[in-house]
Every structure is written in structure tokens, then in C-alpha cells.
């Protein structure tokens, strides 16, 4: 393995630091939770996760955390992702590929409009907090 220069190490540290900040939950109210169970990973959950991180970075969204969880029990619609935005019902999206992940960030997170054709589950109107 080639040795890294001091400058390369600094760049790596800075990129890892911003990556860690995007995964830090403290004080963040919007949560994107990606199902990373076996079937989720097999269906491409890692690409969805990376796409969420890229879109959050591209839009400079500071109040959003991306987390991983295990199996959500929805094999048929993997990759599955739960999105929690203050003032909106919690939504579980299915079949979230990289393009859909980007769409969720742009529509649901930024413009507060759900991505209707990928909703797998959301609470009924009368039980929304």
C-alpha cells in the first residue's frame, strides 16, 4: 500500500469528519433510516444510502441524519427506508434505488411533499401526532 502524504491525510480526515457529522443524530430532527438487513443490502440499500448522503451534502442540509437499521420485514419492497420529518407523518418508502433516494430528499425533505408512488406505509390521518 502506497504511503499517504500529510496533505492527503488531512483531506481524508476532513472528508471523514463531514461524513461522521451527517451520521450524528444530536440536535437533528429529520431522520432517514435505511433498512440494511440482508435482503435490503442484496436489493441495493447501500446505493440508496450513498445517494441519500450525496443529496444531503449537495443540498447542504444540516438538520438531517442518515441512519441504518436492520430488517424492516418488507422483503418484497427492498430497499426500504423510513423518513421522519417534523410536522409530517412518518413514512416508509419501498423500492428506493439511488434515483428515488434523491427524489425523496428533494420532494419530501426539502419541499415537504411525499413521493406518492413509493409509499409502503404511513399512519392513518387520525393517528398522526
Residues that bind ligand FES (CB under 6 A): 37-39, 71, 73-75
State the nearest-atom distance from the C-beta of 42 to ligand FES, in Å. Answer: 9
Residue with Cβ nearer ligand FES (75 or 114): 75
State the nearest-atom distance from the C-beta of 94 to ligand FES, in Å. Answer: 11
State the nearest-atom distance from the C-beta of 117 to ligand FES, in Å. Answer: 21
Residue with Cβ nearer ligand FES (23 or 76): 76
The position carrying cell 500500500 is 1
Nearest residue relative to ligand FES (C-beta): 71
Residue with Cβ nearer ligand FES (75 or 119): 75
Going by C-alpha positions, the residue among 96, 4, 5 that lies closest to residue 43 is 96
Distance between CA atoms of residues 74 and 115, nearest Å: 18
Q: Give the DSSP letter string of 46-112.
A: HHHHHHHHHHHHHTT-SSEEEEEE---S-GGG-S-EEEE-TTS--EEE-S--HHHHHHHIIIIIIH-
State the nearest-atom distance from the C-beta of 29 to ligand FES, in Å. Answer: 28
Residue with Cβ nearer ligand FES (71 or 114): 71
Amino acid at each position: 500500500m502506497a504511503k499517504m502524504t500529510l496533505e492527503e491525510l488531512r483531506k481524508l480526515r476532513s472528508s471523514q469528519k463531514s461524513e461522521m457529522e451527517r451520521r450524528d443524530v444530536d440536535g437533528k430532527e429529520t431522520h432517514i433510516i435505511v433498512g440494511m438487513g440482508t435482503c435490503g443490502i442484496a436489493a441495493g440499500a447501500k446505493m440508496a444510502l450513498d445517494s441519500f448522503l450525496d443529496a444531503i451534502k449537495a443540498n447542504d442540509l444540516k438538520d438531517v441524519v442518515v441512519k441504518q437499521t436492520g430488517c424492516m420485514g418488507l422483503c418484497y419492497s427492498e430497499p426500504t427506508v423510513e423518513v421522519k420529518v417534523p410536522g409530517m407523518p412518518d413514512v416508509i418508502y419501498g423500492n428506493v434505488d439511488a434515483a428515488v433516494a434523491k427524489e425523496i430528499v428533494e420532494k419530501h425533505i426539502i419541499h415537504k411533499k411525499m413521493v406518492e408512488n413509493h409509499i409502503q406505509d404511513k399512519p392513518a390521518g387520525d393517528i398522526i401526532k
